[in-house]
Protein backbone atom coordinates (compact mmCIF):
# COMPACT_ATOMS: atom_id res chain seq x y z
CA UNK A 1 0.00 0.00 0.00
CA UNK A 2 1.43 3.40 -0.99
CA UNK A 3 1.23 6.18 1.57
CA UNK A 4 1.92 9.76 0.41
CA UNK A 5 5.09 11.18 1.99
CA UNK A 6 3.13 13.83 3.89
CA UNK A 7 1.62 11.14 6.13
CA UNK A 8 3.67 10.92 9.29
CA UNK A 9 5.45 7.68 10.14
CA UNK A 10 3.74 7.38 13.52
CA UNK A 11 0.33 7.32 11.79
CA UNK A 12 1.50 4.56 9.45
CA UNK A 13 2.96 2.52 12.30
CA UNK A 14 -0.28 2.66 14.26
CA UNK A 15 -2.21 1.32 11.29
CA UNK A 16 -5.19 2.65 9.39
CA UNK A 17 -7.58 2.10 12.30
CA UNK A 18 -5.21 3.18 15.06
CA UNK A 19 -3.68 1.11 17.83
CA UNK A 20 -7.03 -0.28 18.98
CA UNK A 21 -8.17 -1.55 15.58
CA UNK A 22 -11.54 -0.89 13.90
CA UNK A 23 -14.70 -0.20 15.83
CA UNK A 24 -17.87 -2.23 15.30
CA UNK A 25 -19.29 0.63 13.21
CA UNK A 26 -16.29 0.35 10.84
CA UNK A 27 -16.74 -3.37 10.25
CA UNK A 28 -18.71 -5.21 7.56
CA UNK A 29 -20.97 -7.21 9.84
CA UNK A 30 -21.80 -9.82 7.20
CA UNK A 31 -18.22 -11.07 7.64
CA UNK A 32 -17.93 -10.51 11.38
CA UNK A 33 -17.54 -13.59 13.62
CA UNK A 34 -20.05 -14.67 16.30
CA UNK A 35 -18.08 -13.18 19.19
CA UNK A 36 -18.62 -9.76 17.59
CA UNK A 37 -22.20 -10.21 16.36
CA UNK A 38 -23.45 -11.65 19.64
CA UNK A 39 -22.00 -8.78 21.66
CA UNK A 40 -23.30 -5.84 19.60
CA UNK A 41 -26.39 -5.21 21.72
CA UNK A 42 -24.63 -5.69 25.04
CA UNK A 43 -22.78 -3.23 27.23
CA UNK A 44 -19.57 -5.16 26.53
CA UNK A 45 -19.61 -4.96 22.72
CA UNK A 46 -16.23 -5.87 21.22
CA UNK A 47 -14.90 -5.24 17.68
CA UNK A 48 -12.87 -8.48 17.81
CA UNK A 49 -11.56 -10.99 20.32
CA UNK A 50 -8.55 -9.26 21.93
CA UNK A 51 -6.73 -12.56 22.51
CA UNK A 52 -7.40 -14.23 19.15
CA UNK A 53 -7.34 -11.18 16.86
CA UNK A 54 -6.47 -13.03 13.66
CA UNK A 55 -9.34 -15.45 14.19
CA UNK A 56 -11.62 -12.63 12.96
CA UNK A 57 -9.95 -12.79 9.54
CA UNK A 58 -10.09 -16.59 9.58
CA UNK A 59 -13.87 -16.45 10.07
CA UNK A 60 -14.24 -13.82 7.31
CA UNK A 61 -12.32 -16.02 4.88
CA UNK A 62 -14.64 -18.88 5.78
CA UNK A 63 -17.69 -16.73 5.00
CA UNK A 64 -16.26 -15.79 1.58
CA UNK A 65 -15.56 -19.48 0.95
CA UNK A 66 -19.14 -20.40 1.92
CA UNK A 67 -20.56 -17.64 -0.29
CA UNK A 68 -18.65 -19.05 -3.25
CA UNK A 69 -20.08 -22.51 -2.59
CA UNK A 70 -23.68 -21.32 -2.21
CA UNK A 71 -23.47 -18.63 -4.88
CA UNK A 72 -25.09 -16.08 -2.61
CA UNK A 73 -24.11 -13.50 0.00
CA UNK A 74 -25.49 -13.15 3.52
CA UNK A 75 -25.26 -16.88 4.09
CA UNK A 76 -26.79 -16.63 7.58
CA UNK A 77 -29.89 -14.77 6.48
CA UNK A 78 -33.27 -16.28 7.22
CA UNK A 79 -36.00 -15.97 4.58
CA UNK A 80 -38.86 -13.57 5.32
CA UNK A 81 -41.49 -16.24 5.92
CA UNK A 82 -39.32 -18.22 8.32
CA UNK A 83 -38.22 -15.00 10.03
CA UNK A 84 -41.84 -13.99 10.64
CA UNK A 85 -42.69 -17.42 12.04
CA UNK A 86 -39.63 -17.39 14.26
CA UNK A 87 -40.35 -13.85 15.48
CA UNK A 88 -43.83 -14.91 16.53
CA UNK A 89 -42.55 -17.99 18.30
CA UNK A 90 -39.83 -15.96 20.00
CA UNK A 91 -42.51 -13.78 21.59
CA UNK A 92 -44.43 -16.88 22.66
CA UNK A 93 -41.24 -18.34 24.07
CA UNK A 94 -40.46 -15.14 25.99
CA UNK A 95 -43.91 -15.24 27.59
CA UNK A 96 -43.56 -18.91 28.46
CA UNK A 97 -40.07 -18.39 29.85
CA UNK A 98 -41.00 -15.35 31.92
CA UNK A 99 -44.09 -17.05 33.30
CA UNK A 100 -41.90 -19.89 34.55
CA UNK A 101 -39.51 -17.40 36.12
CA UNK A 102 -42.37 -15.56 37.78
CA UNK A 103 -43.66 -18.76 39.32
CA UNK A 104 -40.19 -19.69 40.55
CA UNK A 105 -39.59 -16.21 41.97
CA UNK A 106 -42.96 -16.16 43.69
CA UNK A 107 -42.30 -19.57 45.20
CA UNK A 108 -38.94 -18.37 46.51
CA UNK A 109 -40.47 -15.17 47.88
CA UNK A 110 -43.29 -17.09 49.57
CA UNK A 111 -40.80 -19.44 51.22
CA UNK A 112 -38.58 -16.57 52.29
CA UNK A 113 -41.39 -14.52 53.81
CA UNK A 114 -42.93 -17.55 55.44
CA UNK A 115 -39.83 -18.07 57.54
CA UNK A 116 -39.36 -14.36 58.18
CA UNK A 117 -43.02 -13.89 59.21
CA UNK A 118 -43.61 -11.16 56.65
CA UNK A 119 -47.17 -10.45 55.58
CA UNK A 120 -48.55 -11.80 52.32
CA UNK A 121 -49.35 -8.30 51.10
CA UNK A 122 -45.74 -7.17 51.40
CA UNK A 123 -44.64 -10.39 49.77
CA UNK A 124 -46.91 -9.76 46.77
CA UNK A 125 -45.64 -6.21 46.42
CA UNK A 126 -42.02 -7.34 46.38
CA UNK A 127 -42.76 -10.04 43.84
CA UNK A 128 -44.44 -7.59 41.49
CA UNK A 129 -41.39 -5.36 41.57
CA UNK A 130 -39.24 -8.33 40.65
CA UNK A 131 -41.54 -9.19 37.76
CA UNK A 132 -41.37 -5.70 36.29
CA UNK A 133 -37.57 -5.90 36.15
CA UNK A 134 -37.55 -9.18 34.24
CA UNK A 135 -36.39 -9.01 30.64
CA UNK A 136 -36.30 -11.64 27.87
CA UNK A 137 -33.06 -13.61 27.95
CA UNK A 138 -32.23 -12.89 24.28
CA UNK A 139 -33.23 -10.36 21.63
CA UNK A 140 -34.61 -11.35 18.25
CA UNK A 141 -31.46 -10.72 16.20
CA UNK A 142 -29.40 -12.71 18.68
CA UNK A 143 -31.73 -15.70 18.47
CA UNK A 144 -32.00 -15.61 14.67
CA UNK A 145 -28.22 -15.73 14.41
CA UNK A 146 -27.97 -18.54 16.96
CA UNK A 147 -30.61 -20.53 15.07
CA UNK A 148 -28.73 -20.07 11.78
CA UNK A 149 -25.48 -21.19 13.40
CA UNK A 150 -27.21 -24.23 14.89
CA UNK A 151 -28.69 -25.11 11.50
CA UNK A 152 -25.22 -25.01 9.97
CA UNK A 153 -23.99 -27.14 12.86
CA UNK A 154 -21.44 -24.43 13.65
CA UNK A 155 -22.86 -23.88 17.12
CA UNK A 156 -24.02 -26.60 19.48
CA UNK A 157 -26.07 -25.22 22.41
CA UNK A 158 -24.60 -25.69 25.85
CA UNK A 159 -26.04 -28.75 27.53
CA UNK A 160 -26.78 -26.59 30.57
CA UNK A 161 -28.88 -24.07 28.62
CA UNK A 162 -32.11 -26.03 28.87
CA UNK A 163 -34.45 -23.19 27.85
CA UNK A 164 -32.25 -22.28 24.88
CA UNK A 165 -32.09 -25.90 23.74
CA UNK A 166 -35.87 -26.25 24.00
CA UNK A 167 -36.41 -23.13 21.91
CA UNK A 168 -33.93 -24.00 19.17
CA UNK A 169 -35.15 -27.59 19.06
CA UNK A 170 -38.70 -26.39 18.35
CA UNK A 171 -37.76 -23.75 15.79
CA UNK A 172 -34.75 -25.04 13.88
CA UNK A 173 -35.12 -24.31 10.18
CA UNK A 174 -33.77 -27.59 8.88
CA UNK A 175 -33.54 -30.05 11.75
CA UNK A 176 -36.39 -31.31 13.89
CA UNK A 177 -34.09 -32.33 16.71
CA UNK A 178 -30.83 -31.06 18.08
CA UNK A 179 -27.87 -33.06 16.86
CA UNK A 180 -24.26 -33.32 17.85
CA UNK A 181 -22.25 -31.12 15.53
CA UNK A 182 -19.97 -32.92 13.11
CA UNK A 183 -18.49 -32.26 9.70
CA UNK A 184 -21.06 -34.65 8.19
CA UNK A 185 -23.96 -32.62 9.59
CA UNK A 186 -22.22 -29.42 8.51
CA UNK A 187 -22.12 -30.83 4.97
CA UNK A 188 -25.83 -31.70 5.10
CA UNK A 189 -26.64 -28.16 6.23
CA UNK A 190 -24.76 -26.70 3.25
CA UNK A 191 -26.72 -28.98 0.93
CA UNK A 192 -29.99 -27.77 2.47
CA UNK A 193 -28.96 -24.14 1.97
CA UNK A 194 -27.71 -24.57 -1.59
CA UNK A 195 -30.30 -23.12 -4.04
CA UNK A 196 -29.12 -25.61 -6.70
CA UNK A 197 -29.24 -28.57 -4.32
CA UNK A 198 -25.63 -29.50 -5.14
CA UNK A 199 -23.93 -28.98 -1.81
CA UNK A 200 -20.18 -29.33 -1.42
CA UNK A 201 -18.43 -32.68 -1.72
CA UNK A 202 -14.74 -31.80 -1.80
CA UNK A 203 -13.33 -33.70 1.19
CA UNK A 204 -10.46 -31.37 2.02
CA UNK A 205 -12.26 -28.20 1.02
CA UNK A 206 -15.08 -29.11 3.39
CA UNK A 207 -12.58 -29.90 6.14
CA UNK A 208 -10.90 -26.51 5.71
CA UNK A 209 -14.22 -24.64 5.68
CA UNK A 210 -15.37 -26.43 8.84
CA UNK A 211 -12.16 -25.40 10.60
CA UNK A 212 -12.44 -21.80 9.39
CA UNK A 213 -15.98 -21.44 10.75
CA UNK A 214 -15.50 -22.73 14.28
CA UNK A 215 -17.80 -20.92 16.71
CA UNK A 216 -15.13 -20.41 19.36
CA UNK A 217 -12.27 -18.18 18.08
CA UNK A 218 -9.63 -20.24 19.89
CA UNK A 219 -10.78 -23.37 18.03
CA UNK A 220 -10.45 -21.89 14.54
CA UNK A 221 -7.61 -22.94 12.32
CA UNK A 222 -4.69 -20.50 12.25
CA UNK A 223 -3.76 -18.63 9.08
CA UNK A 224 -0.49 -20.57 8.85
CA UNK A 225 -2.30 -23.89 9.22
CA UNK A 226 -4.89 -22.86 6.62
CA UNK A 227 -2.18 -22.08 4.05
CA UNK A 228 -0.60 -25.50 4.68
CA UNK A 229 -3.90 -27.38 4.71
CA UNK A 230 -4.41 -30.50 2.59
CA UNK A 231 -6.87 -28.53 0.43
CA UNK A 232 -3.88 -26.70 -1.07
CA UNK A 233 -1.12 -29.29 -0.73
CA UNK A 234 -2.86 -32.65 -0.74
CA UNK A 235 -3.24 -34.87 2.35
CA UNK A 236 -0.40 -35.71 4.71
CA UNK A 237 0.13 -39.47 5.05
CA UNK A 238 1.14 -41.26 8.20
CA UNK A 239 4.52 -42.98 7.83
CA UNK A 240 3.15 -45.88 9.88
CA UNK A 241 -0.16 -46.85 8.26
CA UNK A 242 -0.74 -44.24 5.48
CA UNK A 243 -3.70 -42.64 7.29
CA UNK A 244 -4.61 -39.31 5.66
CA UNK A 245 -4.50 -36.03 7.56
CA UNK A 246 -5.47 -32.46 6.72
CA UNK A 247 -2.61 -30.91 8.70
CA UNK A 248 1.03 -31.91 9.00
CA UNK A 249 1.10 -31.41 12.78
CA UNK A 250 -1.89 -33.72 13.21
CA UNK A 251 -0.10 -36.41 11.23
CA UNK A 252 3.03 -36.03 13.37
CA UNK A 253 1.03 -36.28 16.61
CA UNK A 254 -0.72 -39.39 15.29
CA UNK A 255 2.58 -41.10 14.41
CA UNK A 256 4.05 -40.25 17.81
CA UNK A 257 0.97 -41.66 19.54
CA UNK A 258 1.18 -44.92 17.55
CA UNK A 259 4.92 -45.18 18.23
CA UNK A 260 4.33 -44.67 21.96
CA UNK A 261 1.64 -47.35 22.07
CA UNK A 262 3.85 -49.78 20.17
CA UNK A 263 6.75 -49.12 22.53
CA UNK A 264 4.59 -49.76 25.61
CA UNK A 265 3.10 -52.93 24.09
CA UNK A 266 6.48 -54.36 23.08
CA UNK A 267 7.97 -53.48 26.42
Residue 175 banded pLDDT, cuts 50, 70, 90: very low
Residues 6+ apart with CB under 8 A from 209: 62, 65, 66, 69, 200
Q: At 244, which helix (H) or strand (E)? A: strand 244-245
The pTM of this model reads 0.70
| C-alpha span between 30 and 92 (Å, rounded) | 28
Q: Choose between 114 and 201: higher pLDDT.
A: 201
* pLDDT of the residue at 229: 97
| CB 192, CB 174: distance < 8 Å | yes
Please report the pLDDT score of residue 16 as a whole number.
58
Task: State the pLDDT at residue 24.
Answer: 64
With a cut of 90, say whether residue 147 has pLDDT above it: no
pLDDT, one tens digit per residue, over 97-141 is: 777 777 777 777 766 666 655 554 454 444 444 444 444 445 677
Say whether pLDDT at 77 is over 90: no
Interval 153-174: pLDDT, tens:
898 876 444 444 444 444 444 4
DSSP state of 30: G
CB-based contact 220:58 (threshold 8 Å): yes
Number of helical (H) and strand (E) elements in the chain, helices listed first: 12, 2
Contact between 85 and 78 under an 8 Å Cβ cutoff? The reply is no
pLDDT value at position 17?
Answer: 56
Q: Encode pLDDT of 1-34 as tens digits.
A: 344 444 445 544 555 555 566 666 667 888 989 9
Amino acid sequence: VFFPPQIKNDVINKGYYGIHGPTIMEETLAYAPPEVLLSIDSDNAIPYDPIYKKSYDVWSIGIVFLEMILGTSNVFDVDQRSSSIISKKIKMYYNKYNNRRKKRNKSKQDSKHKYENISVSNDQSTSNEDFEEEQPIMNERYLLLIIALVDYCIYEPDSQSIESKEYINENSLFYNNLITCSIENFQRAILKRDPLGIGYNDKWGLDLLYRLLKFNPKDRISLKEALNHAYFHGPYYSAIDSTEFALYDEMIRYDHMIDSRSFITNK
